[in-house]
Amino acid sequence: MTLEELRERIDALDRQLVELLSERARAAKMVGHLKAATSLPVYEPAREKIVYENVRAANKGPLPDIELTHIYERIIDVMRALQRDELASERNAQAAAPGHAADAPRLQQESGGAGKTPETGKEK
């Protein structure tokens, strides 16, 4: 193959990667909605460990496992940020919904912010 043909092949692969990453992002956003509905944290280290194990198991090279893991660490960081954005949007929409107490943030602060944070699942 010529250099130009190889570059065209890489461009086509890049377009496929973009579509797959977009599909993964859509799935991650749906996961975020489910996590919000079930009060699960966005950050789940055990699940991320499973993802990394699955990626390494599927790797047939030529990328070394560690490099592929680094790529996936970044992908997961971005997906986690999408989920946090979705949670924030949902909270804002709920706060703006009719019948929602306008002073709920003040009341929550006065009560010590009881409850779990959706990002970590830890008590406030």
| Tens-digit pLDDT profile for residues 29-46 | 999 889 888 889 999 999
Q: Is residue 72 part of a domain?
A: yes
Domains contained in the chain, number: 1
Q: Is residue 42 part of a domain?
A: yes
CATH number at residue 70: 1.20.59.10
**Cβ atoms of 58 and 51 closer than 8 Å:** no
Q: Is residue 98 part of a domain?
A: no
| Tens-digit pLDDT profile for residues 86-118 | 888 877 887 888 876 554 454 455 445 455 555
CA 54, CA 82: separation in Å to the nearest integer? 22
* pLDDT > 90 in the chain, percent: 58
What's the domain range around 48? 3-90
Please report which helix (H) or strand (E) contains residue 112, including its range: none
Question: For residue 123, what pLDDT is reported?
Answer: 56
